[in-house]
Amino acid sequence: MDTLIQISYFVAAFLFIYGLKRMSSPLTARDGIVWAGVGMLVATLVTFFYPGMENLVLMTTAIFVGGVAAFWSGKRVAMTDMPQMIALYNGMGGGAAGAIAAVELLRGEFHSQTFLTLAVLGGLIGSVSFSGSLIAFAKLQGWLQRPLRFPGQQVFNILVLLVAVGFGALLVIQGEFSGTIILIFFVAALAYGILMAAPIGGADMPVVISLFNALTGLAVAFEGFVLNNAAMIIAGTVVGSAGTLLTQLMARAMNRSIGNVLFSSFGSSGSTEADSVEGSMKPIDAVDAGVMMAYAERVVIIPGYGMAVAQAQHKIKELMKMLLDRGVDVKFAIHPVAGRMPGHMNVLLAEADVPYERLYDLDEINPVFPQTDVALVIGANDVVNPMARTNPDSPIYGMPILNADHAKNVIVIKRGQGKGFSGVENALFFGDNTRMLYGDGQAMVGELIEAVKGL
C-alpha cells in the first residue's frame, strides 16, 4: 500500500507540474487548470488510504465544506474581483501550511532537528503569507483605502520579525514545545505579515501578490518535508520557484527592486511638484473618436484596470472585430503590471475570446507605436505615463512603459481627470496628440461601436 501511495503522490506531482506548464500560455491555461485539479484530486483521495490515518469523518466534512464554498464563490466572483480572490485563496494556502506547523509543534514528535527547523520555518513563512495576503485582499477589495504608515515603522516591523524569529529559534534550540512559546511565535509571525503588507500601495499589488504566492509555495514545501509528503514537497517547490521568478519579472517590469517595493512609499496617494504637468486635457466625443479609428490603418488598444472595473472587455472585442472587418490592423498592448495581478489583462481578454496572437507584450509593441494611427487607452494610467522616461524626479522614473505617446493620435477613455493608483500625474493626458473621452469604459466603447457602425 505504501508503494501505491508514493506512486500516486508522484503522479499527482507530475500533474501539478504539467498543469503549471500548460498555464504558461492563455491558449492552454484552461486545460492546465483541469490537469492540476486532477492532480489535487489524486493527492487528496490517496491520503485517505495512508496507514494510521484518523479523523476520516472530520477530513471528509472539511473537504466537503471547503469544496462547496470554493465552487460557490468561484462561480459568483466577477472577473473584476479576481485579483482579491487570488490573494485570498493564496492566503488560505499559507494559512494551511501554518496550521500544519502548529499541529506538529504541539504534537512535538520530530525525527530530527532538521524536521523541527523546517516545521518552524514553514510556520513562520506560511503565517506571514496568510496575514499579508488577507491585507492584500482587503486593499484590493477597497476595505483599506490608504497605505498604513507611521514614524519608525520599519524599525518596529523588524523588531516584530525578530520576536517571531527569536521564539522560533527558541523552539528549535530547546526542543521544548511550550504552548505559550508557540502562541507568541505565531502571533508575532501573523503580526509581521500584517505590518509587512499594510504600508504597500495599491500600485504594487501585482508584485506583492506574486511574492506571497512564492512564500506560500515555500511554506508548503517545508511542511511537505515534515509530513514526508512527496506531493506537497514537489508542488510547493514548483509554486515557490515559479512565484519567485514571477515576482522578479514583475519588479523588473517596474524597474524596482523587491526591497524598494516592500519598504518604499511608492503607491501612496497625493501629488508632488515633481509630477506636476503644464497644459490641459482636451476632450473628444465618441463620434469623432469612432471616425478616427474607423479610417485608421493601424490601431493599438491598451487595456488597464479601468477596463476590468467597467467590464468592457467584451465590448472591446466587438469593437476590434468591427475595425478588422473594415481592414484596420488592430493589436493589443499588454504591460506586465497592468491591472491588480500578474496577467490580469490577458485573463480578461481571454475571457472575451480576443485572439491570443493579437496580444503583444511591451518589447514587441513599443517599436510599433510610431507607425500607429490611433492608440486607444482604456483604463490604463501609470503604465503609459511618459514621465517614467522624461522626469528624473518622478516616483515612476525608469519604469518601462508602453510608448503610447509616440502614436500619431491617442484616445484615452477615462471616468474623470483623476490620477492613477500610484498618485502620479500622467503627462500623456496633456499631450498635443491626446484626446480624452470621458465616461464609463463600457458605455464609451459602446458609443465608439455605434459611431463605427454609422459610417
Q: Which residues are catalytic?
A: 382
Angle at 141 between CA 138 and CA 142, to 5 degrees: 90
How far is Cα 13 from Cα 9, in angstroms, rounded to an integer? 6
Angle at 427 between CA 426 and CA 431, to 5 degrees: 135
How far is Cα 415 from Cα 442, in angstroms, rounded to an integer? 11
How far is CA 157 from each of CA 82, 136, 191, 252, 350, rounded to the nearest angstrom? 29, 17, 9, 25, 40
How far is Cα 423 from Cα 385, in angstroms, rounded to an integer? 12
Beta bridge partners of 303: 378
**Segment (H or E) for 358:** none
Angle at 447 between CA 444 and CA 452, to 5 degrees: 130
Q: Which residue has the cell 468591427?
A: 322
Map residue 433 onto helix, strand or coil.
Answer: coil
Of the candidates 227, 66, 255, 266, the residue with the CA atom closest to the CA atom of residue 147: 266
Q: Residue 284 CB: number of other CB atoms within 10 A?
A: 16
Report DSSP letters for 232-297, one per residue. Answer: HHHHHHHHHHHHHHHHHHHHHHTT--HHHHHHS-TT-----GGG---S---B--HHHHHHHHHT-S
How far is Cα 180 from Cα 168, in angstroms, rounded to an integer? 12
* CB-based contact 249:25 (threshold 8 Å): no
Of the candidates 454, 402, 453, 444, the residue with the CA atom closest to the CA atom of residue 316: 444
How far is Cα 86 from Cα 99, in angstroms, rounded to an integer? 20
* CB-based contact 381:426 (threshold 8 Å): yes
